[in-house]
């Protein structure tokens, strides 16, 4: 339990870390997105609909990247959602050692700008995005965003 000065701080009811794995296949993209949305609703995370849509787009992009580019060395991807008092972090882990780099805004390409999109969404929301290597030789790509309305819980659709 954290403390601020001499007063211990209890976690808020929606705070916690949740992790699930999924096979590195295309069908896992919408499943991961729905699982994250269900989690946010179930935990009553105080996120407005704009933030929820940003998080779901980030989940879609990161899981898609893992499925497309890492499946050959990583038959599963891990998705983690960490919710703090004022921040929400989404991470996608795979077992492939390649560290992706965001592509430039090349309008002639039909795809390949997912990480750039995640970085821009994160930055515009006042958050951050990065890629880190794991101890097992893979990587974790994460995005962290501030919670925008800490007093209003997300309502069920």
User: What's the rounded Cα separation, in Å, for the pair 144 and 129?
Assistant: 6
pLDDT block averages, 10 residues each, the chain of length 157? 65 94 97 98 95 97 95 95 96 92 58 83 95 94 83 47
Residue 10: its pLDDT value, please? 83
- Alpha carbons within 13 A on the beta-carbon side of 5: 1
Match domain 16-146 to its CATH number in 3.30.420.40, 3.90.650.10, 3.30.565.10, 3.40.50.300: 3.30.565.10
Please, are residues 51 and 113 in contact by the beta-carbon 8 Å criterion?
A: no
User: What's the rounded Cα separation, in Å, for the pair 48 and 157?
Assistant: 12
Residue 114: its pLDDT value, please? 85
Query: What residue segments make up the domains of the chain, in order of their start?
Result: 16-146
Residue 101: its pLDDT value, please? 72
Supply 105's token pair: 């805004």
């Amino acid at each position: 339990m954290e403390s601020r000065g001499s007063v211990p701080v209890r976690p808020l009811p929606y705070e916690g870390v949740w992790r699930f794995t999924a096979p590195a296949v295309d069908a896992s993209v919408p499943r991961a997105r729905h699982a994250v949305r269900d989690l946010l609703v179930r935990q009553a995370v105080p996120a407005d609909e704009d933030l929820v849509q940003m998080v779901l787009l980030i989940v879609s992009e990161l899981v898609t990247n893992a499925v497309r580019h890492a499946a050959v060395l990583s038959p599963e991807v891990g998705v983690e959602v960490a919710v703090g008092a004022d921040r929400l972090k989404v991470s996608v882990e795979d077992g492939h050692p390649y560290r992706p780099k965001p592509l430039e805004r090349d309008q002639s390409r039909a795809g390949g700008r997912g990480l750039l999109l995640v970085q821009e969404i994160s930055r515009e929301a006042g958050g951050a995005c990065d890629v880190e290597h794991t101890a097992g030789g893979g990587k974790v790509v994460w995005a962290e965003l501030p919670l925008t309305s800490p007093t209003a819980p997300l309502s069920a659709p």
